[in-house]
Structure 1
Amino acid sequence: MIDDATFWTLTVLLGIGTFLIRFSFLGFFGRKQLPAWFILHLKYVGVGVLPAMVTPLVLWPQATGGETEPARIIAALVTFLVALRLSVTGALVAGMGTLYLMQALF
């Protein structure tokens, strides 16, 4: 464990760093009109980042020691298919429900 002074120093520095990262975008560009090409590309950031975060959790989950589990793959597929037809909320509910159901069955 680290001592209290190191913990709070690190916490404050990380908080300042996070604030500066967010302010750099909002503070400098908040009142300016961004170019259309930039806004178009910005719309795809979430679509690119979310699969990169979820894929390792589906294919090599820490909960199973890194072994692929059929329940997680089935839940991911159901989530994807529901997301194509419904909303994000529907996809989350369907994915969680499928994962819990598949884990109970397997």
Structure 2
Amino acid sequence: MPQIVVLPHATLCPEGAVLEAPAGRSVCDVLLDNDIEIEHACEKSCACTTCHIVVREGFDSLNEQLEKEEDLLDMAWGLESTSRLSCQALVGEEDLVIEIPKYTINHARENG
């Protein structure tokens, strides 16, 4: 089973993490299932950018981006060439290394 290595994030995952990640599951769901409370203001419907991640390794193993995701990512804070919305990025057969950006464009966080 592929793994997701989550690089340390000051508030969401200070120590970093290594998570088992079933192929076909969204990165967002894997994070949430493992108590890493990544923001997902639109309830994972690809309508915001609060679940933005940067894929440091394994980017090409993810599913293809749809145009809607590409358009939304243009508004994400800290956009990089390997940025994805974690609610849309489906785990493939390879391990991933991801970074959760320090900031989002969400002005009102529900859980904090």
Structure-1-length-normalised TM-score: 0.24
Question: Who wins on radius of gyration, i.e. which is larger?
Answer: 1
* More helix, by proportion: 1
Structure-2-length-normalised TM-score: 0.23
Relative contact order higher in (CA < 8 Å, ≥ 6 apart): 2
